[in-house]
Structure 1
């Protein structure tokens, strides 16, 4: 007979064994083979940039040493040219990986920006000088070339097949520590950052630090599915939020650089915002979705196609637009010159507009408006407005109409978020051409129902949901 204590001990051992086996079956991944097979294809990238630095002030301000004099020779010998700033080298370190055996290297654009010299170091300590074939600041991708053959390459994956929660691994040189491997999971897909609206970033919790930039992000099959690019941090170190550029975006940039030497993007020419629950109701949508057009840029593809402020873009070129951040990368990757179908909601009816996509210009500035004369008050909205001058309309990008908000008191306008200094150009889907028209439209608004109002504020156009409470 088995003793009770012995049986209890055996039960504990068996339970531990079963739990261990279960954990192993569920599997925390083993990355050792992945690192061994792919580390040689990862490179360290160091850059050197000459920066002008003021020389030490050896002479009183405004005083120069005449060239060719004994004093000039003395200062040049011991202190350099006293009349000119001196340059000092600035070094930086990043990561990259080998794209092809004949020497094509991928990294981040910000790693090599303004570099005078780029050195690529391989795992066997070989160092080669790299040439920049092209770079794209908007996507933060750069293509380099070194003179070499037979280099170890990495296999590329498909970033369209990624799922939130799957394991990923990064290899790079954080803080200059070469070939450091860190692992984590995909936290989110299609992230849009304020400074990079044309890249649907992969968000991970992989430890990424300065020096990892430009290095590869692998899936469990050892395929590169992104380039590590940015971290979210309050102090410059890792905080669990990292962003990588999807490899399909990267390769689109590479193909364009190889084909034409630069990167072009599609352009629609609209200023957009998210659709809130209140705005969804006012536009006749069953739920918040799409990209709400708050302004159409003059002489843009959107204006030529007939887009209007107040249109909600629901689908572009067959791809759903769930939030406003979905639209820029979709448009950006659309071929320039392509005629595209765009599904919109206009005046609570779905319709399709055809637009010919043009190339994204270098600059796309939107201006703001200022005051004009003669005040009028709408007591129902608790708002005071005035007419807008021709010059102010031009600055705001308005062809005509609009009213300037002088004063907002407690009431529907204030609750909607309207402020003094805003210019209102559309109320309840009606283009406002004058103060008198604004007052008439405001008077006709139905109580208890949300309606859209388009304002222009500090260089931005935005729809707000205005609601007059039932008495």
Structure 2
């Protein structure tokens, strides 16, 4: 009889156990990363950067450093240009045997010189093929042949809970290996609309940036890019750029040294449950169009403020962050098919995209500086006090009619309305009068809501207002 079963039987006989013990097969051991590291670690590199910082300073004449009035005289000293050499450390990995290296754009930002150190200690000066700040991806090239290179996987195939491995140079310690699991997928960080990050709990620290994230097959599925930390060190949350996203950038960098993205000329906002209900949607999925640029691609195609984009080229949009990401992967001038929700009906349109460029916001609150005149209360169910804007201010805002919110209370305050907002639309339609707003609010059934389109600090957005029950 196996020794474990003999021990269990003896314990049962001695009365140490009150019920029979079922000894299952031994638990599977933790994953063994040794072969993966041996095979793929050779393609991971250390990147050392050197940059020059130029600064205008006011220096005292020699001998005055210890003068008690030195700071007083410093302000009258003539400014002089001083240069300082700075250095940085990061990681990267070799994409091909002819010397293409992938890393983060922030690793090589402002660098005058980049030294790539291989696993066998050979060093090469690298040149920048191109970098893209929006996705934080940079492509370098070193003059070498026959180099070890990584195998690429599919980040879309990753599953939450799957084991992953990071290799890099945290704090300058080269070829450091850490492991963890995929904590989440599709994370959207502030000001990072074009990258659905992979979140992991693999230990990543300063210096790991640009290094590869491997799956258990030894394939690169991401580029370690950011950490969430209050101390500057690892706290259990790391973010990696999906390799699928990175390689679409690499292809463009190889061809032209820069990345071109599509835009359709719209402002967007998240779609919450209340707004979805006011539009007649069961699920709060999709991208809500809050503003349409006049003369832009979306305007020419017939897209309107208040439309909800449900699909782009047949692919479902789960959240508002999906639209800029998906458009960012499409070349300008491409024709895209969109499925929209408008006036409680499905609508299909095609849009020819333009090249992404910065858009100038218009601030409604700044545009109106007049004194309160003609203030009106929009019924006791909404808690809104509004005032019609004069023609001059409407022209500045680019709208035909608008109501400046002068005061909020009750339902309006609960919905997030603010004094200074300008109401320009209701229930998916442009606003034309106070009466139209009042009628729309009165038509809301008990427990329902109405979608108001407002301008706030240069950004159009929708707010779901849930009026109080009508008094008998």
**Superposition TM-score, scaled by structure 2 size:** 0.88
Asked whether 1:367 is paired with 2:362, we answer yes
The residue aligned with 2:451 is 452
- Hey, what's the Cα distance between the residues in 1 that align with 2:151 and 2:7? 53
- Hey, what's the Cα distance between the residues in 1 that align with 2:2 and 2:148? 61
Q: Select 1:41's aligned residue among 43, 47, 69.
A: 43
- Hey, what's the Cα distance between the residues in 2 that align with 1:119 and 1:178? 14
Q: Select 2:295's aligned residue among 284, 299, 302.
A: 299
SS at match of 1:334: coil
Q: CA deviation at 1:298?
A: 2.6
Asked whether 1:92 is paired with 2:88, we answer yes
SS at match of 1:345: strand
* Pairs within 5 Å for 1:67-466: 84-361=80-357, 363-370=358-365, 371=368, 372=370, 373-380=373-380, 381-390=382-391, 392-393=393-394, 396=397, 398-410=398-410, 412-466=411-465
Q: Describe the shift of the 1:376–1:6 C-alpha distance in structure 2 as closer, same or farther (beyond 3 A).
A: closer
Gaps of 5+ in 2: 13-19, 62-72
- Hey, what's the Cα distance between the residues in 2 that align with 1:332 and 1:378? 42
- Hey, what's the Cα distance between the residues in 1 that align with 2:341 and 2:92? 44
Q: CA deviation at 1:235?
A: 2.0
Answer yes or no: is the 8 Å Cα contact 1:199–1:245 preserved in 2. yes
**Range with bigger deviation, 287-296 or 114-123:** 287-296
Q: CA deviation at 1:168?
A: 0.6
- Hey, what's the Cα distance between the residues in 2 that align with 1:218 and 1:49? 31
- Hey, what's the Cα distance between the residues in 2 that align with 1:88 and 1:46? 17
Q: Describe the shift of the 1:392–1:140 C-alpha distance in structure 2 as closer, same or farther (beyond 3 A).
A: farther
Q: CA RMSD, aligned part only?
A: 2.6
Aligned residues, how many? Answer: 445
SS at match of 2:196: strand
Answer yes or no: is the 8 Å Cα contact 1:174–1:180 preserved in 2. yes
Q: Describe the shift of the 1:63–1:324 C-alpha distance in structure 2 as closer, same or farther (beyond 3 A).
A: closer
SS at match of 2:468: coil
The residue aligned with 2:67 is none
**Superposition TM-score, scaled by structure 1 size:** 0.88
- Hey, what's the Cα distance between the residues in 2 that align with 1:408 and 1:7? 75
**Range with bigger deviation, 372-381 or 167-176:** 372-381
- Hey, what's the Cα distance between the residues in 2 that align with 1:131 and 1:137? 17
Residues 112-171 of structure 1: per-residue CA shift (max 9 Å, x gap): 011111111111111111100100000100010111111111111111211111111010
Answer yes or no: is the 8 Å Cα contact 2:92–2:102 preserved in 1. yes
Answer yes or no: is the 8 Å Cα contact 1:368–1:395 preserved in 2. no
Q: Describe the shift of the 1:137–1:407 C-alpha distance in structure 2 as closer, same or farther (beyond 3 A).
A: same
Answer yes or no: is the 8 Å Cα contact 1:209–1:231 preserved in 2. yes
The residue aligned with 1:22 is 26
Q: Describe the shift of the 1:150–1:391 C-alpha distance in structure 2 as closer, same or farther (beyond 3 A).
A: farther
SS at match of 1:401: coil
- Hey, what's the Cα distance between the residues in 2 that align with 1:448 and 1:32? 60
Residues 306-336 of structure 1: per-residue CA shift (max 9 Å, x gap): 1111111111111101111222111111232
**Range with bigger deviation, 374-383 or 128-137:** 374-383
SS at match of 1:275: coil
Answer yes or no: is the 8 Å Cα contact 2:452–2:463 preserved in 1. yes
Answer yes or no: is the 8 Å Cα contact 1:227–1:244 preserved in 2. yes
Q: Select 1:52's aligned residue among 48, 51, 54.
A: 54
- Hey, what's the Cα distance between the residues in 2 that align with 1:332 and 1:96? 24
The residue aligned with 1:77 is none
Gaps of 5+ in 1: 65-81
Q: Describe the shift of the 1:170–1:392 C-alpha distance in structure 2 as closer, same or farther (beyond 3 A).
A: farther
